[in-house]
């Protein structure tokens, strides 16, 4: 079952076209990933204390419908797969009032040793906190 992160579209999220801008959707995707990790006991400070971090290798985002000011959104995120030192996360952004799908995203994450700046194997104690939900 995906992790759900709730957000409200704020006036400052709106672009000149009258809806949430593209970068705002990306922000919500990233916020949901961090909120999910925090919910399983690994916030940003925990990763930094371990000298290990997740970094984005790529995002693929499809914008399907506009998000308008004041709307409540459900950002659903899940870990679809994990390799030795990387992970694929899938995210959907839904309008809470009618479950209309506004955006779908796939993020390819790399797990890095912060001191070396190089990929490292995802430790079992981290891997075990994120049950896989494949496509």
CATH domain 3-127 topology = Thiol Ester Dehydrase; Chain A (3.10.129)
Question: In the numeric block, which tokens belong to residue 42?
Answer: 């690994």
Q: Where are the domains of the chain?
A: 3-127
- The enclosing H or E element of 36 equals helix 22-39
Work out the number of other CB atoms within 10 angstroms of the CB of residue 59: 15
The pLDDT tens digits for 4-61 are: 999 999 999 999 999 999 999 999 999 999 999 999 999 999 999 999 999 999 999 9
Please measure the distance between the N-terminal and C-terminal CA atoms of the chain and give it in whole angstroms: 12
Average of pLDDT values for 102-117?
Answer: 98
């Amino acid at each position: 079952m995906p992790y759900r992160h709730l957000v409200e579209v704020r006036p400052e999220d709106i672009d000149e076209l009258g809806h949430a801008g593209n970068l705002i959707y990306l922000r919500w995707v990233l916020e949901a990933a961090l909120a999910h990790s925090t919910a399983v006991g690994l916030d940003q400070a925990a990763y930094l204390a371990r000298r290990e971090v997740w970094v984005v290798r790529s995002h693929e985002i499809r914008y399907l419908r506009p998000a308008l000011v004041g709307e409540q959104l459900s950002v659903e995120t899940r870990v679809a797969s994990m390799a030795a030192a990387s992970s694929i996360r899938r995210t959907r952004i839904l309008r809470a009032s009618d479950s209309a799908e506004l955006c779908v995203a796939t993020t390819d994450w790399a797990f890095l040793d912060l001191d070396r700046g190089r990929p490292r194997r995802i430790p079992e104690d981290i891997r075990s906190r994120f049950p896989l939900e494949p496509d």
